[in-house]
Amino acid sequence: EIVLTQSPATLSLSPGERATLSCRASESVSSSYIAWYQQKPGQAPRLLIYGASNRATGIPDRFSGSGSGTDFTLTISRVEPEDFAVFYCQYNGRSRTWTFGQGTKVEVK
């Protein structure tokens, strides 16, 4: 069973700063099945990135994803006020299983 570990648990930043969020898999996985989501309080998660590096429809280009093997990264080039939220990485396994990381909260410094 693949386990996804996100770090840090909390990232305290000021608007305009760069955010770098990490997602590490317990074993090598196909990047095609890695996605990132943003969740704001009281809302459902929203797809940001799929296939490790592809932005979903309507997602601003300040969001980017990268990585392969066991290490994946979500970067927000300049954090905007509306970006403060919790971010989750996700892996879809061969046997139709779905695994989520425990989340990284990006909060106002």
Partner 1 sequence: QVQLVQSGAEVKTPGSAVKVSCRASGDTFSSYAIIWVRQAPGQGLEWMGGIIPIFGSANYAQQFQGRVSIAADDSTSTVYLEFSTLRFEDTAVYYCARSKLGSGYLDTWGQGTLVAVSS
Which residue from 7, 11, 5 is spatially nearest to 105, judged by alpha carbons?
11
Out of 50, 65, 79, 106, the only residue in the binding site for partner 1 (CB under 8 A) is 50
User: Are 77 and 18 contacting, i.e. CB atoms less than 8 angstroms apart?
Assistant: yes
- Would you say how long the chain is, in residues? 109
Distance in Å, CB of 69 to partner 1, minimum? 16
Q: Residue 45 belongs to what H/E stretch?
A: none
Site for partner 1 in 19-48 (CB under 8 A): 32-35, 37, 44-47
- Contact residues: partner 1, CB under 8 A: 32-35, 37, 44-47, 50-51, 56, 88, 90, 92, 95-103
